[in-house]
Amino acid sequence: MRKLERDVKYLGAPLLPLENFNYLVQQVDRRLTGWKMKTLSWAGRNTLIKSVVQVVPTFSMSAFDVPKPTCDRMDKAIRRFWWKGDNASKKYMAWKNWKDLCSPKAEGGLGALKLMHKTVKIQIQSKGWMVEYRKSLSSFTWRGIWRGIEKAREVLKKRACYAVGNGHKVRVWEDLWIPWLENFKPRPKNNLVEQQSLVVSQLIDGERGCWDLAKLKELFDEESCYAILAIPLSLRNIQDKMMWVANPHGMFTVKLAYFLQQVVLSSPERSVWRRLWRLRMYERYKMKLWRIAHNILPTRSRLKELGLTQEGECPFCHIEEESCLHLFKDCDLAKTLWFGNRWNVSSSFQLVQLVVDPSSNLVPIKIPIDQFQTMAVIIWEQIWNLRNKIIFKKSEANMQVALLSIERKFHERSTIWIKQDTNKTPMQTMNWKAPTFGSLKINCDVVVVEKEVCVAAVVRDWGGNIIAVGTRMESKGTINQAEAKGIKWAILMAKLLGLRKMEVEGDSKICFEVLIKAKNGELPQATLWKTRPILEDTPATSYRARRS
């Protein structure tokens, strides 16, 4: 019998667990070797790191628990390449913390993953697959699975909540069952209320299939009552089950859990970062904006702060200190290229914010916003190039050449806009379409009014004649819940009037897609948990989603 070597590999990864994972570090180094700083731009380095280098250890991470020191060594090589470009160099200037760079794009980072975080993410994914497919041979390795579940327990507990079905298993005061409240638990009306051992089913009026409002007002405060009334109830005897409220479908996903762990509290800056990465421009322009916003361009003021130079004055005006704000906004050269400057900006971040989300009084009516944004970045790039030529090549700034270069680059981008816009399909206005002969059509919609929702429905025949009109107030929930309640009530209203052959039309694409699948016996388990009880009770008929 042949004996396998200890370091034998299969599909690029060791067949047997190893104590030494140096081969992963070597693979990462090989990918980075040869890519010099002058070869790749900042946008190019970003793409190489996320699409090539960080993918290298994925297979090994899915098979083994790669230790933290190995992940740190790979991160170190990637960090060095990002800041220096030349992987062989030992010394480099890190202008920003690597942890901040690995934060989500909406938080001002680049969306890259620290490899230790990626290891945990892949391990949780593989454990989830094993639990889901319990009949597979690999699912019998339970020790590793439960170890991974223990690590993720706190993440799960923060957003785990019961989806109320018949309410028999959910305890009122002990369990988490109200997704709209911060801690998922109701608050008593006052300190005199005795918190008895109750289950949620005791708060439901079994005859009418709705919440017992009198009992709710007797036990809970006003906010808790409104939150409970917003929980939809099903007329069917469905079981209570746990769900993950962070996902609209109620299912735990590793990607969303990782994102929520990285995200800090909401701030006005988040919308700026989101808009930045969605701009219609080249990636290198977006990267330039990102670097300016974080003030990590190697301007003389920044280099002076770090003690790397004694010179701090602007190479153009030789008066003010060269900062991002001065260079791209206040300097005479910048004003010349912009034909004047009246912006009230006091930081480099606000300077980028002005371009990413310009106010209406700054952009002329005849100029589309995306063209203004691209022109701004092209001008800033030209200023930076002129600055580098003056400092490193000792040349003089030629304004005429600079203006011609700006115009040429803008014309190139405008040509692409024209091609993209001509390929777009124009939006078509949809008018009301009559149903087939002998049928009726119900159009329904909802309007949110403070703490309630107004549901309206109109029934018309094949000739467009109005047969019935109705409105009803419902307790407020999510907009999809309101749409689902509107559809359900419109159909029940029509059936009470003795109408049979009908079709329902509305603008809630999500609800109608679920109803169409349910009619065909294909109701997915991942249906939106906030609307599923309502949609399950909705009578089957013909549905049609209308574009809003």
pLDDT tens digits for range 51-82: 888 888 887 777 677 888 888 888 988 888 88
Residues 148-160 pLDDT 10s: 556 666 666 778 8
8-state DSSP, 442: E
Amino acid at 526: A
Instruction: Say if CB 49 and CB 57 are below 8 A apart.
Output: no
Tell me which of 115-129, 449-463, 509-523 is least confident.
115-129
CA separation for the pair 330, 188 (Å, rounded): 59
Q: Write down the pLDDT at residue 186.
A: 92
**Residue for token pair 């190697």:** 298
Residue 174 has pLDDT above 60, yes or no: yes
* Confidence grade of residue 179 (pLDDT, cut at 50, 70, 90): confident
Residues 400-424 pLDDT 10s: 888 899 889 888 887 776 666 665 5
Q: Write down the pLDDT at residue 477.
A: 67
Mean residue pLDDT of the chain comes to 78
First to last CA, the chain: 71
Amino acid at 161: C
Q: Between residues 523 and 314, which one has the greater pLDDT?
A: 314
Tokens matching residue 14: 């060791």
Q: Write down the pLDDT at residue 140.
A: 46
Residues 439-466 pLDDT 10s: 888 888 888 777 678 888 898 988 889 9
How large is the average pLDDT for residues 131-144? 49
CA separation for the pair 56, 11 (Å, rounded): 12
CA separation for the pair 443, 503 (Å, rounded): 9
How large is the average pLDDT for residues 123-131? 54
**How do strand 241-244 and strand 160-163 relate by DSSP bridges?**
antiparallel
How large is the average pLDDT for residues 321-332? 91
Q: What is the percentage of the chain residues whose pLDDT exceeds 90?
A: 16
8-state DSSP, 451: T
How large is the average pLDDT for residues 324-352? 76
8-state DSSP, 543: E
CA separation for the pair 151, 55 (Å, rounded): 24
* Confidence grade of residue 491 (pLDDT, cut at 50, 70, 90): confident
CB within 8 Å of 410: residues ≥ 6 apart: 371, 374, 375, 378
How large is the average pLDDT for residues 10-28? 72
- Angle, CA 26 vertex, CA 22 and CA 27 arms, to 5°: 115
Q: Between residues 386 and 480, which one has the greater pLDDT?
A: 386
Q: Write down the pLDDT at residue 151.
A: 60
Highest mean pLDDT among 161-165, 298-302, 451-455: 298-302
Instruction: Say if CB 312 and CB 318 are below 8 A apart.
Output: no
Q: Write down the pLDDT at residue 505.
A: 87
Residue 265 has pLDDT above 50, yes or no: no
Residue 182 has pLDDT above 90, yes or no: no
**Residue for token pair 């549905």:** 543
Instruction: Say if CB 48 and CB 23 are below 8 A apart.
Output: no
Q: Write down the pLDDT at residue 86.
A: 66
Q: Between residues 426 and 447, which one has the greater pLDDT?
A: 447
Residues 198-216 pLDDT 10s: 899 999 988 888 899 999 9
Tokens matching residue 358: 């310009």
* Long-range CB contact pairs, 189-198, < 8 A, 24+: 189/217, 189/218, 189/219, 189/220, 189/221, 190/221, 193/219, 197/171, 197/173, 198/171, 198/172, 198/173
Closest CA to 169 of 217, 238, 245, 251: 238
* Confidence grade of residue 374 (pLDDT, cut at 50, 70, 90): confident
Residue 298 has pLDDT above 90, yes or no: yes
**Residue for token pair 């390449």:** 81
Q: Write down the pLDDT at residue 212.
A: 92
How large is the average pLDDT for residues 88-93? 70
Closest CA to 521 of 536, 499, 508: 536
Complete domains list, the chain, with CATH? 9-127 (no CATH), 152-261 (no CATH), 268-423 (no CATH), 440-545 (3.30.420.10)
CA separation for the pair 28, 75 (Å, rounded): 9
* Confidence grade of residue 137 (pLDDT, cut at 50, 70, 90): very low
Q: Write down the pLDDT at residue 340.
A: 44
Closest CA to 285 of 124, 444, 409, 369: 409
Chain center to CA of 183: 23
What are residue 10's DSSP bridge partners? Answer: 13
Count how many Cα atoms sit within 13 Å of the Cα of residue 448 in the half-sphere of its side chain.
10
Highest mean pLDDT among 66-80, 290-304, 338-352, 464-478: 290-304
Residue 266 has pLDDT above 50, yes or no: no
Handedness of CA 247, 252, 256, 258 (dihedral sign): positive
Chain center to CA of 297: 28
Helix (H, G, I), strand (E, B) or coil at 318: coil
CA separation for the pair 350, 321 (Å, rounded): 19
* Confidence grade of residue 299 (pLDDT, cut at 50, 70, 90): very high
Q: Write down the pLDDT at residue 342.
A: 44
Closest CA to 61 of 69, 71, 72: 71
Helix (H, G, I), strand (E, B) or coil at 459: strand
Residues 229-242 pLDDT 10s: 888 887 778 888 88
CA-to-CA dists, residue 338 to 213, 280, 396, angstroms: 64, 21, 19
Helix (H, G, I), strand (E, B) or coil at 431: coil
CB within 8 Å of 536: residues ≥ 6 apart: 234, 236, 238, 518, 523
What are residue 502's DSSP bridge partners? Answer: 440
CA separation for the pair 115, 57 (Å, rounded): 9
CB within 8 Å of 364: residues ≥ 6 apart: none
Q: What is the pTM of this model?
A: 0.66
